[in-house]
């Protein structure tokens, strides 16, 4: 029980960075698309955690979205990074780079 | 044999077996109870949209209607209401150390939603017999809920039912734990203690009132 908890905490902690990264790479992305990319990259998360996270990021001014009508179903929300979003991504990315380097250094020699 | 019902979910009309419909309805209700307010509405809409998408894919593979196993698979994929709260809280924890332009607004928005760290008396909706009052009290004192239940029953009988009144008051007053993490006091260490404003408390009381009437309805409909 404890290890799944730690592992899931690790994944959830990085989720924001990954989501921002996906949106940044594609300029715009809708939720199912983001989930697809996460799956392809083998980042395992409960899909449901995405939606409150996206809404929270939008409320904090990190993301914006626009609706796009689709012929093959209901309209879709396309999310994009704001200026703050770009900044946040940069900071998270730096933190991750530093952190992963540190952890790799520590665990390499074990 | 199953009756098939048509549902309109996120703008799509889909056929679903009656049993599965009930299961789906319970799931969505749990989500609605969990995600409140304007944001909550938006989040639940997004999730319904995703459910609708997953169901459509399932139907396209030749199945005539959505059944219980389909609904269960969707719930497993998306996560239950309590799973999603832990997820959100944990995601909040990981970035609480970040500072950037509007960090105050961002982090206080999260902290207001997820409360403080002290050991709180909450009702336990995951281990409840009636309303989770006894389970919640048991968690608070770290005793077996069975013992608390025996005490409550003994008191109720001994005082000719007045004890039941105390139970009902406790039901109304004690808030319901929104996730397992809250029950076991597993909040991450970096949250700050923030005292909630009067408005938050009132809003919480209102929600609990609504929750309580829903619990009552559920309890009595189960007896049928």
Whole-angstrom distance, CA of residue B81 vs CA of residue A7? 20
Taking the domain A20-108, which CATH number applies?
1.10.10.10
Q: How large a percentage of chain A has pLDDT more than 70?
A: 99
Phi, psi of B179 (to 5 degrees): -160, 160
Q: B101 to chain A: which residues are within 8 Å by CB?
A: 84, 87
Q: By C-alpha distance, which of B194, B191, B196, B13 is closest to B93?
A: B191
Distance set, CA B77 to CA A30, B74, B133, B178, B212 (Å)? 18, 5, 31, 20, 29
pLDDT at B188 over 50: no
CB spacing of B90 vs A32 below 8 angstroms:
no
Does B89 or B7 have the greater pLDDT score?
Answer: B7
Which of A5, A52, A55 to mutate to probe the B interface, most B CBs <10 Å? A52
Which of A48, A76, A95 to mutate to probe the B interface, most B CBs <10 Å? A48
All structural domains of chain B with their residue ranges: 4-79, 89-223
Q: Which among B23-37, B107-121, B205-219 has the top mean pLDDT?
A: B23-37
CB spacing of B98 vs A92 below 8 angstroms:
yes
CB spacing of B47 vs A48 below 8 angstroms:
yes
Assign B99 a pLDDT band (cuts: 50, 70, 90).
very low
Q: By C-alpha distance, which of B141, B219, B212 is closest to B176?
A: B212
Q: B11 to chain A: which residues are within 8 Å by CB?
A: 73-74
Whole-angstrom distance, CA of residue B90 vs CA of residue B119? 18
A72 to chain B: closest CA residue = B12
CB spacing of B100 vs A9 below 8 angstroms:
no
ipTM exceeding cut-off 0.90 for this assembly: no
Based on C-alpha coordinates, what's the Rg of chain A?
16
Whole-angstrom distance, CA of residue B132 vs CA of residue B176? 8
The C-alpha of B169 sits at a distance from chain A's nearest C-alpha, in angstroms, of 33
Q: B51 to chain A: which residues are within 8 Å by CB?
A: none
Assign A24 a pLDDT band (cuts: 50, 70, 90).
very high
CB spacing of A56 vs B79 below 8 angstroms:
no
Whole-angstrom distance, CA of residue B208 vs CA of residue B122? 12
Does B75 or B158 have the greater pLDDT score?
Answer: B75
pLDDT at B106 over 70: no
Interface contact A54, partner B, CB < 8 A: yes
Interface contact A15, partner B, CB < 8 A: yes
pLDDT tens for B150-186 read 888 888 888 877 878 888 888 888 887 776 656 655 4
């Amino acid at each position: 029980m404890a290890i799944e908890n730690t592992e899931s905490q690790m994944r959830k902690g990085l989720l924001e960075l990954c989501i921002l990264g996906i949106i940044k790479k594609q300029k715009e992305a809708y939720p199912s698309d983001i989930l697809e990319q996460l799956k392809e990259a083998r980042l395992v998360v409960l899909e449901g955690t995405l939606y409150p996270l996206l809404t929270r990021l939008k409320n904090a001014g990190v993301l914006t979205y626009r609706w796009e009508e689709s012929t093959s179903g209901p309209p879709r929300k396309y999310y994009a990074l704001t200026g703050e979003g770009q900044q946040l991504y940069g900071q998270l990315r730096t933190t991750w780079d530093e952190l992963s380097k540190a952890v790799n250094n520590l665990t390499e020699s074990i | 044999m199953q009756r098939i019902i048509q549902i309109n979910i996120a703008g799509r009309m889909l056929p679903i077996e009656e049993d599965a419909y009930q299961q789906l309805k319970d799931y969505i209700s749990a989500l609605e109870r969990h995600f409140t307010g304007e944001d909550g509405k938006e989040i639940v809409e997004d999730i319904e949209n995703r459910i609708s998408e997953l169901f459509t894919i399932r139907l396209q593979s030749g199945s005539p209607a959505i059944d219980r196993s389909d609904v269960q698979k969707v719930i497993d994929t998306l996560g239950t209401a309590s799973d999603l709260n832990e997820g959100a809280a944990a995601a909040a924890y990981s970035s609480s150390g970040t500072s950037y332009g509007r960090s105050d607004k961002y982090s206080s928005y999260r902290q207001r939603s997820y409360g403080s760290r002290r050991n709180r008396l909450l009702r336990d909706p995951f281990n409840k017999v009636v309303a989770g009052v006894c389970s919640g009290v048991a968690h608070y004192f770290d005793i077996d809920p069975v013992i608390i239940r025996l005490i409550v029953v003994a008191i109720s009988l001994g005082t000719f039912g007045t004890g039941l009144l105390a139970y009902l008051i406790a039901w109304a007053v004690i808030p319901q734990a929104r996730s397992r993490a809250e029950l076991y006091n597993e909040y991450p260490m970096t949250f700050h203690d923030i005292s909630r404003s009067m408005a938050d408390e009132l809003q919480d009381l209102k929600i609990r009132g609504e929750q309580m009437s829903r619990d009552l309805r559920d309890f009595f409909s189960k007896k049928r």
